[in-house]
């Protein structure tokens, strides 16, 4: 034992400090390990022949001279693997929902351009791709409806005949009498809003490597996924394996943004083929494959009208949404994930009595839509915030003031929206005031007006939103999906050297979770952060884990870490009390030291662990406990996160290009674990949101062919075009989550598109133009301006 001055603090708390990411040294020095870095002995490479038809029967597959290419090992179509797996079925208890089976290769017919049809396995990727050129598939084209407005019709051609309809999910949310509110309103504004399809565009393409252990009859899948637990569970069922013999490992993952948060055809395929061939099989997509066939984002058509009284108070909202979910209901989230959340979150953070929202999710011959950063909220926030700004303009009211009058106030929490969502508490009003103070809103308006006086097209736009984060079991079970997303488990143990290992079911794909969770563990346990190893991304670590999505990791992972660390700390202090011969109430721990408050006696974690594990007899057998705990956290409901975004833009009247001159965010994510990481998340999400607002669009033509299959056509933001982003952190009332944490990783993609749309509309207000489609590209602005000038001349 050692001695220190008892008046000296053991160590300041780590939560709240700008700790540098502990992951970065290995990543920045090239020592990260991604799926494509793995090359086990006997490795085979998979290449996939994809459909060039949007909807067609497969009549014949002719492999031609493919087997003559050196290195080709095997070629498979759906008939060759029919008995080797069960399809994954994304079930739901939602009324009227139809699940579409999910298979590794198209069976019988294809339903979108890019769907996998034939698999070639070879000694090298080069040989496999060469073989693809020799294979010919004969198709019988079938009719289809490429647009959701056509596919929703009763007489539209069916993609899945067994469903009997293309509308595989339909729901209505209602409260009050919205028609009466619209009839009595002083002002009614309405529009038809659309956010077009996006691609998640992670830096690392999808990558999978399956290894079959013949001796154990066990499968290990290395996958660039952010949901290893979910993938383990579904593949165990698909392959008829117990979970103990189906392991999914996500090593380093270079981004996801939702695109790696669902089951992919190729994930199933490499496992089926690895077991069939008894050799490791790897698939790594190229950028064209990911742009063509990776799950995509939204494509929502929202018709909405908003009723407002003469003082600017919101009375009621009515909406009809058609969600284009692509050709399949994605596993496990189902085709209801995106469109239903659009209608659920459409009322936003506003006080409003009357609401009616109908949504239909419709099948079209395109890649499935799945999770994308913000799920549902980017589209709903875009529509609602456009209506708010339109109402303010019609009333002659400042956009800040109309929000101030309608955002839920602190004394009104918990507040139930018209769709049934409960906002527990969050800084709705404070975020609005915070962002306005940060930019000096009156001065910014004056600067805009001065620029306009010079003939420049300058505009200011705001967007306020709220979202649920860290969703617990009560809400997670509501959609009736085949998985539990409402809990998180942490297993924390101290070994004989005093080192701390904390295992989780979550899986980082770039958010810095190893750092933030280590901060939580070190604070709660009292150890040094240097002694904490965070383990994640491996389905074998905890009995049940799902992964990282829906802004859940800090809330649920941090909560589970807190619970487990407290149990282990109690064991540490109990053992130390015996060894130091002091009451346990006299002890505290921090910075790796256990200290008696009444004296200068201390003991290190290393000394205590050695005594517990190696010096048998120092602690009586009946009092000795292993320094380990497994705890599961369930926040039950979850908690709200909120923000207000503000953008100032300038449009070039000659090129119609949009420059974002100013951007600021005020957000409430509860107690901040690491401000450095939070700021990075905000910057990245806003950049992605700006891309969605101005650049990114997946385009299919009338024949179902993809027109944006390369980065020459699918445009994304780059660092040199990003504005400086001002950030205001608001910590008002902390939520009732363990640690007071809220999620925040999706906020930029939710608020930025709406704020920019409002700013562009403001810049074009002298022409009477209202933006209703994103991205608002130079071509779209050109057409809007031409139409407005044509109307004025007419």
- Give me the pLDDT at residue 11, please: 64
Residue pair 297/262 in contact (Cβ under 8 Å)? The answer is no
Residue of 100, 97, 99 whose CA lies nearest to 109: 100
Say whether 751 sits in a helix, a strand or coil: helix
How confident is the model over 34-61, as pLDDT tens digits? 999 999 999 999 999 999 999 999 999 9
Helix, strand or coil for residue 330?
coil
pLDDT given at position 733 = 80
* Structural Rg of the chain based on CA atoms: 28
Residues β-bridged to residue 306: 189, 317
- Position 318 scores a pLDDT of 98
Closest CA to 16 of 664, 635, 677, 590: 677
* CB 248 within 8 Å of CB 211: no
- Residue 1 pLDDT: 44
Specify the pLDDT at position 8. 40
Calculate the dihedral angle through the C-alpha atoms of 258, 259, 265, 267, rounding to the nearest 10 degrees: -80
The helix/strand/coil state of 741 is strand
pLDDT at 794: 59
Residue 188 pLDDT: 98
Alpha-carbon dihedral sign for residues 127, 130, 132, 134 = negative
Are 469 and 639 contacting, i.e. CB atoms less than 8 angstroms apart?
yes
Ranges of residues in the chain with a pLDDT under 70 are 1-11, 478-479, 792-794
| Upstream peptide bond of 676 is cis (omega within 30 degrees of 0) | no
- Supply the DSSP symbol for 96: T
CA contacts within 13 A on the Cβ side of 122 = 20
- Residue 564 CA to residue 541 CA, distance in Å, equals 15
3-state SS, 461-495, equals EEEEEEEEECCCHHHHCCCCCCCCCCCEEEEEEEC
**Looking at residue 599, what is its pLDDT?**
86
Q: Which two tokens stand for residue 502?
A: 């904390």
| Reported pTM | 0.95
Question: Looking at residue 234, what is its pLDDT?
Answer: 97
Nearest residue to 413 via CA among 324, 462, 351:
351
DSSP code for 373: T
**Structural domains of the chain, with CATH:** 2-32+487-633 (3.30.365.10), 35-142+203-255+260-293 (3.90.1170.50), 300-473+636-793 (3.30.365.10)
């Amino acid at each position: 034992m050692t001695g220190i001055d008892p008046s000296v603090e053991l160590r300041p708390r780590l939560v709240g400090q700008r700790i540098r990411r502990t992951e970065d040294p290995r990543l920045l020095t090239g020592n990260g390990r991604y799926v494509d870095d793995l090359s086990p002995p006997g490795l085979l490479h998979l290449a996939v022949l994809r459909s060039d038809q949007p909807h067609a029967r497969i009549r014949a597959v002719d492999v031609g001279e493919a087997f003559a290419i050196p290195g080709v090992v095997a070629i498979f179509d759906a008939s060759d693997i029919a008995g080797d797996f069960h399809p994954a079925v994304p079930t739901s208890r939602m009324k009227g929902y139809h699940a579409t089976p999910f298979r590794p290769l198209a069976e019988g017919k294809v339903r979108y351009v890019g769907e996998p049809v034939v698999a070639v396995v070879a000694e090298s990727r080069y040989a496999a791709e060469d073989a693809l050129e020799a294979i010919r598939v004969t198709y019988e084209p079938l009719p289809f409806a490429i647009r959701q407005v056509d596919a929703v019709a009763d007489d539209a051609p069916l993609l899945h005949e067994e469903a009997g309809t293309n509308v595989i999910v339909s729901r209505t949310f209602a409260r009050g009498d919205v028609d009466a509110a619209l009839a009595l309103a002083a002002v009614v504004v309405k529009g038809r809003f659309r956010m077009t399809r996006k691609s998640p565009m992670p830096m690392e393409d999808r990558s999978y490597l399956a290894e079959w252990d013949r001796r154990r009859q066990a499968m290990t899948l290395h996958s660039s996924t952010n949901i290893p637990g979910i993938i383990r569970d579904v593949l165990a069922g698909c392959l008829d394996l117990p979970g103990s013999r189906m392991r999914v490992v996500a090593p380093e993952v270079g981004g996801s943004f939702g695109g790696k948060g669902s089951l992919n055809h190729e994930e199933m395929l490499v496992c089926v083929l690895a077991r069939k061939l008894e050799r490791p099989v790897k698939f790594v997509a190229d950028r064209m494959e990911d742009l063509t066939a990776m799950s995509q984002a939204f494509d929502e058509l929202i018709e909405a009208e908003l009723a407002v009284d003469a003082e600017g108070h919101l009375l009621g909202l009515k909406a009809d949404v058609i969600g284009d979910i692509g050709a399949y209901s994605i596993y496990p989230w189902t085709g209801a994930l995106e469109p239903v959340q659009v209608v659920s979150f459409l009322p936003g953070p506003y006080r409003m009595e009357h609401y009616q929202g109908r949504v239909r999710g419709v099948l079209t011959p395109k890649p499935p839509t799945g999770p994308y950063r913000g799920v549902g909220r980017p589209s709903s926030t875009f529509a609602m915030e456009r209506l708010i700004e339109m109402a303010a303009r019609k009333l002659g009211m400042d956009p800040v003031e109309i929000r101030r009058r309608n955002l839920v106030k602190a004394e009104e929490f918990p507040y139930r929206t018209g769709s049934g969502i409960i906002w527990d508490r969050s800084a709705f009003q404070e975020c609005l005031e915070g962002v306005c103070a940060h930019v000096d809103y009156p001065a910014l308006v004056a600067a805009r007006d001065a620029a306009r006086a010079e003939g420049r097209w300058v505009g200011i736009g705001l967007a306020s939103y709220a979202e649920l984060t860290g969703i617990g079991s009560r809400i997670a079970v509501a959609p009736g999906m085949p998985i539990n997303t409402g809990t998180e488990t942490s297993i924390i143990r101290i070994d004989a050297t005093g080192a701390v290992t904390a295992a989780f079911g979550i899986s980082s794909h770039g958010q810095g979770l190893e750092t933030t969770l280590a901060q939580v563990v070190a604070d709660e346990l009292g150890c040094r952060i240097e002694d904490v190893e965070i383990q994640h991304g491996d389905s074998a670590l905890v009995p049940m884990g799902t992964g990282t999505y829906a802004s859940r990791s800090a809330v649920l992972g941090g909560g589970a870490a807190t619970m487990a660390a407290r149990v282990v700390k109690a064991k540490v202090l109990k053992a130390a009390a015996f060894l130091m011969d002091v009451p346990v109430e006299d002890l505290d721990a921090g910075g790796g030291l256990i200290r008696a408050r009444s004296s200068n006696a201390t003991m290190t974690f290393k000394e205590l662990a050695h005594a517990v594990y190696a010096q048998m007899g120092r602690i009586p057998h009946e009092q000795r406990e292993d320094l380990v705990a497994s705890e599961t956290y369930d926040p039950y409901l979850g908690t709200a996160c909120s923000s207000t975004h503000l953008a100032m833009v300038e449009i070039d009247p000659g090129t119609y290009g949009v420059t974002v001159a100013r951007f600021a965010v005020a957000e409430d994510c509860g107690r901040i674990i690491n401000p450095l990481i939070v700021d990075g998340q905000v910057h990245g999400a806003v950049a992605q949101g700006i891309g969605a607002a101005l650049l990114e669009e997946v385009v299919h033509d009338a024949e179902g062919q993809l027109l944006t299959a390369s980065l020459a056509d699918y445009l994304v933001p780059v660092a040199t075009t990003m504005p400086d982003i001002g950030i205001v952190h608001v910590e008002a009332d902390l939520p009732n989550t363990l640690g007071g944490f809220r999620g925040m990783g999706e906020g930029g993609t939710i608020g930025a598109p709406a704020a920019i749309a409002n700013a562009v509309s403001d810049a074009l207000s002298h022409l009477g133009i209202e933006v209703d489609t994103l991205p608002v590209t130079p071509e779209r602005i050109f057409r809007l301006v031409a139409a407005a000038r044509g109307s004025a001349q007419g």
